Amino acid sequence: MSFIYIPAPVSGWADAYSYDFDGSTGYIDFGDYLDCDRTEALSISFRIKIDSIPGSGQEKILNKRDGSNEGWWVSIHNSGRIRFNFKNTLGDVTWIQTDTVVSTGTWYRVVCTASSSGKADTDLDIELNGSTDVNATTSNNIASGSTSTSSSLIMGADDAPGDYFDGHLNEVCGWEGTVINSTTKTSAGSATSTDPSTWNQPPTHYWKADGDSTGAGNVIDHGSDGTADGTITGGVTIVADV
């Protein structure tokens, strides 16, 4: 069954800072990382506080797609719901979204997962604050074609750039080839750890704002791979806001 998981109210921060995106010019470019073809697994986790809901379309929270929109992306839709989206080389799109309409000014933890069995809507999940929360409205399935792209992973905008995100992000994590679940999130016998670096399956890439600064390569990848440092462009500040 497809679902969107929206974790419970956030507590137990691993750090004290977040990336604050201005919604008009700010984004972070990491280069070609976290690519996901149709039959590959992918997990994404982040904390989010939205400053404003878009008046139309979608604001891109994380974007790994090319100029033809092929690839994957996580967004906040103008309905106030968080979406997890894939598009293939044939123009087919699959997405699911939260049933919950998120509130501005409130922190949430979101975990998006895509299984390796394909990119039907039943292969996609989203967690929000630790409980399943899926809207009945889903899209067409991707039965074939590729969702892989060599375009950059962008935080806070699309690849143009455009569709700028207005809000805060923290503890952004990515797992290549892994579906995060209650087992992989277990830490020292507990499945409730809020620090992904302590989980049985630590993130491949992990951007947490602590110690980062604006400029080229100054957003540090703390993941097990550790190669995807990012470059801040435009209106992104690092603030003490948890």
Report the pLDDT value the prediction gives residue 141, as an integer from 0 to 100.
86
Q: What is the pLDDT of residue 242?
A: 65
Domain edges within the chain? 5-239
What is the distance between the alpha carbons of residues 160 and 215, in angstroms, rounded to a whole number? 19
Q: Residue 183: what pLDDT?
A: 66
- What confidence score (pLDDT) does residue 8 get? 35
The identity of residue 144, as a single letter, is S
The encoded tokens of residue 205 equal 């890439």
| Tens-digit pLDDT profile for residues 41-99 | 999 999 999 999 999 999 999 999 988 879 999 999 999 999 999 999 999 999 999 99
User: From the centroid of its chain, how far is CA 114?
Assistant: 12
* pLDDT tens sequence across 186-235: 655 454 566 777 778 889 999 998 888 776 678 999 999 999 999 999 99
pLDDT above 70 as % of the chain:
86
Q: What is the pLDDT of residue 181?
A: 77
Q: Give the CB-side neighbour count of residue 212, counting CA atoms within 13 A.
A: 32
Residue 238's pLDDT band, with cuts at 50, 70 and 90, is: very high
For residues 29 and 11, the model is more confident at 29
* Bridge-based pairing state of the strands 154-155 and 42-50: unpaired
Judge whether residue 129 has pLDDT over 90: no
Q: Which CATH class is domain 5-239?
A: mainly beta
Residue appearing with tokens 């986790």: 45
DSSP-assigned letter for residue 142: B
Q: Among 9-13, 59-63, 133-137, which is the least confidently predicted range? A: 9-13
Indicate the pTM of the whole model: 0.89
